[in-house]
């Protein structure tokens, strides 16, 4: 294991992630879910961008929208199951750029990874929910009860924001720490009385339990939550890769525009064909929205991340707070903000 991977493992362990070294190993040994040809956008030119994706989200969006057509570089999609594993991909030098939620982005700083923020997104509509079993109608009722969320992910940060809104901390509940894909199962099985779930997990559970209650959404908690795309300093120091990453950012915004204007097709292409949801659940996902818009990296965005880290530390999710300043570069923020101004968005 390299020095940088060990540093990441130590930082994630401090954050309460069990067996982070195993996670890093899993990341290093994971293979794309499709064939190498299907996971590499071969579009000419000699530059290759290794892009850390999660569950084929960006790959499907860029491919279905046609946004990568004509790009003078290759995009190699490497698939991971969570933001912490994307961090491990950075530590293992497998990726040039990758996307994740706010907590994994902050943990990249905590572990000393040489990455900076090159894009930020904000959800339109609810994309994460704190969903409770029937009979539980308030967050305050969760005191002393099992609640499911995944340590080290943006779902944990959302859970602790929601608990804070009712005067609770992580120590006031019994965390059920399962993988992101098992959060809905924890609620279905009864091992948790509430769980942070995605739109598709919420739809599946509420089909069987229509009296269940959403206690909070990502839109109702504070501070606001932002998604991040990070890139390595080494990639940004390479003039050819820097140009390619800037162009790819434009194409990601264009693909996001397509997603918002073709939601029915997106639900079929992704939730049905990739995530294998039923058409009934897919329709409910479509009704929930949950798309994103690219936003400038501003002082407000930076402050929201710092406030989230402070809440995590105060709630027992981190041993101590730390500064997220190293995640940001004035030059990269200016470059990205110019792209956001130049590319119109439809949401």
Domain 128-217, second-level architecture: 3-Layer(aba) Sandwich (3.40)
Mean pLDDT for 154-180 is 96
pLDDT at 38: 35
**28: pLDDT strictly greater than 60:** no
Instruction: Give the pLDDT band of residue 45 (cuts 50, 70, 90).
Output: low
Out of 63-67, 155-159, 279-283, which region has the weakest mean confidence (pLDDT)?
279-283
- Which pLDDT tens digit goes with each residue over 199-257? 889 999 999 999 999 999 999 999 999 999 999 999 999 999 999 999 999 999 999 99
Q: Is residue 129 pLDDT above 90, yes or no?
A: yes
Quick one: average pLDDT of 83-105?
97
Query: For residues 323 and 11, which has the higher predicted lDDT (pLDDT)?
Result: 323
How much is the pLDDT for 267? Answer: 87
Domain boundaries, given as residue ranges, for the chain: 3-122+226-342, 128-217
- pTM of the complete model: 0.85
Question: In terms of Cα–Cα distance, which of 219, 225, 181 is closest to 200?
Answer: 181
Helix (H) or strand (E) holding 214: strand 213-217
Q: Which of 17-26, 70-79, 134-143, 298-307 has the lowest mean pLDDT?
A: 17-26
Q: Looking at the domain that runs over 3-122+226-342, which CATH code has it been given?
A: 3.40.190.10
| SS3 at position 48 | strand
Mind listing the pLDDT tens digit for each residue in 48-58?
999 999 999 99
The CA angle 154-156-162, to the nearest 5 degrees, is 105
Q: Do domains 3-122+226-342 and 128-217 have the same CATH topology?
A: yes
Phi, psi of 277 (to 5 degrees): -80, 155
Q: First CA to last CA across the chain, in angstroms? A: 43
Distance separating alpha carbons of residues 149 and 25, to the nearest angstrom? 22
Residues 126, 202: contact at Cβ < 8 Å?
no
| Residue 285 pLDDT grade (very low, low, confident, very high; cuts 50, 70, 90) | confident
Cβ 191 vs Cβ 146: under 8 Å: yes
User: Which residue is listed with tokens 């839109």?
Assistant: 219
pLDDT for 8: 40
Q: Residue 223: which region, alpha, beta or left (left: phi > 0; alpha: psi -120 to 50)?
A: beta
In this predicted structure, what is the pLDDT of residue 281?
84
């Amino acid at each position: 294991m390299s020095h940088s991977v060990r540093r990441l493992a130590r930082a994630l362990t401090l954050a309460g992630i069990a067996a982070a070294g195993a996670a890093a190993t899993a990341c290093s040994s994971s293979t794309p879910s499709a064939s190498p040809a299907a996971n590499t956008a071969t579009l000419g030119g000699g530059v290759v961008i290794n892009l850390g994706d999660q569950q084929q989200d960006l790959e499907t969006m860029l491919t279905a929208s046609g946004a990568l057509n004509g790009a003078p570089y290759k995009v190699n999609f490497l698939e991971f199951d969570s933001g912490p594993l994307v961090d491990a991909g950075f530590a293992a030098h497998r990726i040039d750029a990758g996307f994740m939620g706010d907590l994994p982005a902050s943990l990249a700083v905590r572990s000393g990874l040489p990455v900076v923020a090159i894009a930020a997104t904000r959800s339109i509509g609810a994309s994460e929910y704190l969903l409770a079993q029937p009979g539980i109608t308030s967050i305050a009722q969760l005191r002393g009860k099992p609640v499911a969320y995944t340590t080290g992910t943006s779902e944990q940060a959302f859970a602790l924001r929601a608990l804070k809104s009712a005067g609770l901390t992580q120590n006031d509940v019994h965390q059920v720490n399962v993988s992101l894909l098992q959060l809905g199962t924890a609620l279905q099985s009864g091992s948790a009385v509430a769980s942070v779930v995605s739109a598709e997990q919420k739809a599946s559970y509420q089909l069987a339990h229509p009296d269940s209650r959403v206690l909070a959404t990502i839109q109702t908690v504070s501070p606001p939550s932002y998604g991040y795309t990070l890139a390595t300093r080494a990639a940004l120091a390479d003039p050819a890769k820097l140009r390619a990453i800037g162009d790819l950012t434009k194409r990601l915004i264009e693909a996001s525009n397509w997603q918002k204007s073709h939601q029915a097709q997106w639900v079929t292409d992704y939730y049905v064909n990739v995530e294998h949801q039923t058409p009934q659940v897919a329709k409910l996902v479509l009704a929930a929205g949950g798309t994103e818009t690219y936003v400038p990296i501003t002082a407000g965005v930076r402050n929201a991340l710092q406030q989230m880290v402070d809440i995590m530390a105060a709630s027992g999710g981190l041993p101590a707070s730390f500064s997220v300043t190293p995640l940001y570069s004035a030059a990269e923020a200016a470059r990205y903000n110019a792209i956001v101004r130049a590319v119109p968005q439809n949401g």
